[in-house]
Amino acid sequence: MEKQKRIIIIGGSAAGPKTAAKARRLDQNAEIIILQKGPDLSMASCGYPYYIGGTFDNRNMLLSTPTGVVRNPQFYLNAKGIDARVNSEVTRIDRAEKKVFVKNTVTNTSESLPYDKLVIATGSIPNMPPVPGCDLEGVTTLHSMKDVDFLRGIRDEKKIKKAVVIGGGLIGLETCEALRLAGIEITVVELLPQLLAFLDCEIARLVENHIRSKNTNVITNNGVVEFIGENNKLKAVKLSNGIELDCELAVVAVGVKPNVQLAREAGIDIGTTGGIHVNEYMQTNDPDIYAAGDCVEVINMITKKQVLAPYGDLANLEGRVAGENIILGNTVTFPGTVQTGICKIFDFTAGATGLTEDRAKENGIDYISVVNASPDKPGFMGGKLLVTKLVAEKSTGKIIGAQCVGPGDVSRQITTWAMAIKGNLTVEDMINADLPYAPPFSLAIDHAIATAHILQNKMKGRLKSISACDVREKVNNKEDVYILDVRGSDEFEQMRLGIGETLIPLGALRKRLNELPEDKSTEIICYCKISLRGYEAAIIIEAQGYSNVKVLEGGIMAWPYKREK
């Protein structure tokens, strides 16, 4: 009879339990033990901000299966035959003896456990700025259930009036929304020049504008130098420019780092990014030790470089691969990531997949990009705005990145582009994509396909476009440029850019061509609400012999700067 295999998994959040569940389905006889340092298992950490904000009130929903059963040790034992031990901290891995040393954090007792296969799923640790006052009451991260309980208590008690969220990434902005919904006055502080580093600057600014519209203050290009307290309680946050922000709460959300100390001490290879280095089988340099989740580095499928990708969905996918391979041998692989992310910010959604324009530059990729603004479905079905920036490799047309923001169905757009990137599709592949259409769900030509059409026109030289950033720079530099708004006069009265533009409605343009500059080499920039009419105007003007006509990408709806109205 074959010897019973003992599998030990260190970590009980996402990757660990998924590894255990997959291993159990493939081997009903193996002894599977999960060792979790904290008191909870399988925490839905991506749901933390929504519990804090009151989207739901039952704390157990963060720990439950889709059918509402709490994933506690008894659940794992009864439903899956898995020995899940909470409050069990692994203090050392002895690779030579194939043992782990475990301390019970409640009883303080210790034991050693032998293993045949070991999986490290120790997750991540929140970053904390190295400044005075981090230990003050009122300074917290949002990483553990303890943090969740603290912040939910603040929401329910309604005693705090002002809070500062440090970090303008996914968690920071989701926390911002949760606390703002509780009536707390919020200031978001970001060290970088923009929020959401996975977006290019002009797209990120649209998100920033939306956050400001919700009576929330945003400060970029600024860091924290001190948490100021009184009687051990936070009373202000001091910024690098000397400003002091009065507050009773500061939530630090400046990212996470892989929790690799245990692995490093055991001689497991740590990669260049700081995560555990694994091969495509999620196997470390020790053939009997695998790793998955936030603690590992993986391959970016576009750049082929190692990256950190601390996302809950990837942790589950990596755990599934590790679970199968520890039972059946190295038979399945994890191909890597295109780094797809999405978040809800009040009435906006922001998502991205693949490379931004900035990341393409950093990786030496010759790219071409375009911005499209249009609704997600017809106006008669309540269509809402989407602004997408699509990035492709210039020589091949291969899609390498997409960003989408707005109140419309961003998730569908990013899903489409994520699969296009994974499938190595080109712009030409996407222009006739057979996507589902009905008015309740999309336009007849879906926003994604329309975006591909615009980029195709640009690649073929039919569209000569210019970004909002470049237009603003020209205006600020007082360059000799003729800016033409071709919307209707009623639209112009309701909202306009106020950058010295001239209004000639598209329907009147052919009769008023004599009003254009006499010098046909003059740079003319056309636009309308979303620049569809702007494109048509540019074609008309070029036909008159003008040689330097451009279209403002995304039109007035994608303009990320202050407008006159």
Rounded Cα distance between 125 and 5, Å, is 31
Domain boundaries along the sequence of the chain:
6-124+257-328, 139-254, 347-459, 465-558
CB 418 within 8 A of CB 411: no
Q: pTM for this one?
A: 0.95
Rounded Cα distance between 128 and 46, Å, is 20
| Residue that the structure tokens 């970016």 belong to | 300
215: left (phi over 0), alpha (psi -120 to 50) or beta: left
Distances from the Cα of 326 to the Cα of 8, 270, 297, angstroms: 11, 21, 19
Rounded Cα distance between 425 and 468, Å, is 27
Q: What is the CATH number of domain 139-254?
A: 3.50.50.60
Token reading at 251 = 């939530």
Per-residue model confidence (pLDDT) at position 134:
96
Domain 6-124+257-328 has CATH 3.30.460.80: no
Per-residue model confidence (pLDDT) at position 436:
96
Alpha helices for 367-516 (secondary structure H) = 410-422, 427-430, 447-459, 468-476, 489-494, 506-509
Per-residue model confidence (pLDDT) at position 565:
72
CB contact set of 201 (below 8 Å; sequence gap of 6+) = 193, 194, 358, 469
* Fold match between domain 139-254 and domain 465-558: no
Sheet holding 367-375: strands in order across? Answer: 341-345, 348-354, 399-406, 385-393, 367-375
Q: What is the CATH number of domain 465-558?
A: 3.40.250.10
Per-residue model confidence (pLDDT) at position 96:
98
Nearest to 296 by CA among 251, 258, 247: 258
Q: Note the pLDDT tens digit of each residue in 401-455.
A: 999 999 999 999 999 999 999 999 999 999 999 999 999 999 999 999 999 999 9
Beta strands in 253-384 (DSSP E): 256-258, 276-277, 289-291, 296-299, 306-308, 341-345, 348-354, 367-375
Per-residue model confidence (pLDDT) at position 2:
63
**Topology, domain 347-459:** FAD/NAD(P)-binding domain (3.50.50)
Rounded Cα distance between 218 and 110, Å, is 48
Segments of the chain scoring below 50 in pLDDT:
1
